Amino acid sequence: MKKMSILLIVALMITTQVFAGVVKKTKSEVSFKDFGKFTSEQSEKITAEKKLTDSKNNFKGKGIVGSLSGKFLLKSGETGEIIDLSALTITKMDHKKKEYELNPIEKIRSEGIPEESKQSEELEAEEGESEIKIIRSEFKVDATGESKVINSFSAEKYVITWVTEWENVETGQKGTDRLVTDVWTTPLSGAIQQAREEEQQFTKAYMKSMGIDSDSLQQMILGTNWLALLGSMSEDGQQRRHKGPNFSDEMKKIEGYPVIIDGKYFAIREGGEEDEEDEEEASGDVKKMLGGFAKKVIKKGSKDKNEPAFTYYTELKEFSPSKVSDDAFQVPENYKEKG
């Protein structure tokens, strides 16, 4: 009888498969001047090999391009995504339509070199031919000493500031690109430390499955990958990366896990001749057109130093270790696979 009871318990454990994991809830907002605002509330369940993300998204576009973006890219609605590292698959779900699409996890590299690194090397090789002269580039992190409780998390404030002053030697135009990011972090201890370790275990495995160097993990967590994104939309189309030796040293000043990341990007433009805009992308695909518009917003800039061209905000609502059932990573039975 005792042996039968043990077998039943083992069988129950096999069928339910409860794993150590993490429950995480966040809110994020991204806004482009003259383009629109995208907000998202996300709920995540994470284990060592699987991750479920349910999102409630809302986009309010401005103008024609903003309207197109709402229809084709930044769609409002409720979506889900299941990443399964054991099966190397990503399942995307539309909760309104009750549909799902299954795709393989693809590596983001060629011949052993990540595409981003290859692109960076190519851009650096062409840097000598640029019409843009960098006058000043400064990157720093300041610990403000401010503290407060945010969503039950004890948090301390840091400010990341990146300023680049440049001049176009051909047109005479001058510009200042300034990225200011407020980062509120909570100490890495107790439940936060345990949840972070579980999250990092999955993230490193996921990045490895895509062929991405795990050294990028800190940039992903802190949101500093926005530096590369915004740099790639600079006036000359080249990534303006801060190459000073103090970058990593400055980032080490930030301690703890981010609770709030609040960034604002300012692009100030003065003088120079206006380049004729190439509208060729308007007759091409929508993604190219929208990408061209985003770049145009940054390129055009503003004369108002207090008006950001681009802002992003993320807020941690919940983050804690939790037992997660394998059933959480199953597509609902009444969902149909997209043909």
pLDDT tens digit string along 136-186? 989 999 999 999 999 999 999 999 998 989 998 888 888 999 999 999 999
227 phi/psi in degrees, rounded to 5: -60, -45
**What span, in angstroms and rounded, lies between the C-alpha atoms of 3 and 5?**
5
d(CA 291, CA 289) in angstroms, rounded, equals 5
Residue type, 218: Q
Indicate the pLDDT class of residue 279, thresholds 50, 70 and 90.
very low
More confident residue, 244 or 273: 273
Whose tokens are 């990028």? That residue is 216
**CA-CA distance, 262 to 14, in Å (whole number)?**
43
Amino acid at 339: G
> What phi and psi, each to the nearest 5 degrees, are found at residue 11?
-65, -40
Angle at 174 (CA atoms; ends 171, 175), nearest 5 degrees: 135
Q: Summarize the confidence of residues 23-52 as an average pLDDT.
A: 91
Whole-Å CA distances, 207 to 19, 48, 182, 225:
21, 13, 26, 15
pTM over 0.95: no
Instruction: Select, from the ranges 64-78, 102-116, 118-132, 313-327, the one with the highest average predicted confidence (pLDDT).
Output: 313-327
Q: Determine the pLDDT at residue 92.
A: 96
Tally of helices (H runs) and strands (E runs) in the chain: 8, 14
In whole angstroms, give the CA distance from residue 217 to residue 210: 13
Domain ranges in the chain are: 20-112+132-337
Residue-level pLDDT at 212: 74
Phi, psi of 136, deg, nearest 5? -150, 140
Round to whole Å and give the CA distance between 93 and 102: 9
